[in-house]
Amino acid sequence: MTRLIQCLKLNKQAEGLDRSPYPGELGEKIYSQISKEAWGLWLAHQTMLINEYRLNMSDPKARAFLTTEMQQFLFGNGSQKPAGYTPPDASS
């Protein structure tokens, strides 16, 4: 059965996540307020950040950076793209 929520990021009613995608209180907040669609947008943005900044995910500083960016992306004013970032050409 589909769980509908009022997605804070997309400002619309949408399908909720199947489970908490992150541990702790932040994970519960994401589960209750962020839709599958918005979470997918974050995952794509997160991948771009990891690649562009060449983040080492075993580094606690890199994980802290991504957590901060995730909170900004989902609940704040959005996460910024790296300076000079050019999205890949979709036609290739």
Distance (Å, whole) CA 45 – CA 48: 5
Per-residue pLDDT tens for 34-49? 999 999 999 999 999 9
Q: What angle do CA 65, 61, 27 make, to 5 degrees?
A: 55
pLDDT for the residue 81: 79
Supply the pTM of this predicted model.
0.87
Largest CA distance in the chain: 43
Predicted confidence band at 28 (pLDDT cuts at 50, 70, 90)?
very high
Q: In which residue are the tokens 């606690």 written?
A: 60
Region at 84 (left for phi over 0; alpha for psi -120 to 50; beta for the rest): left
User: CA separation (Å) from 43 to 1, 67?
Assistant: 24, 12
Beta strands in 1-77 (DSSP E): 4-7, 12-15
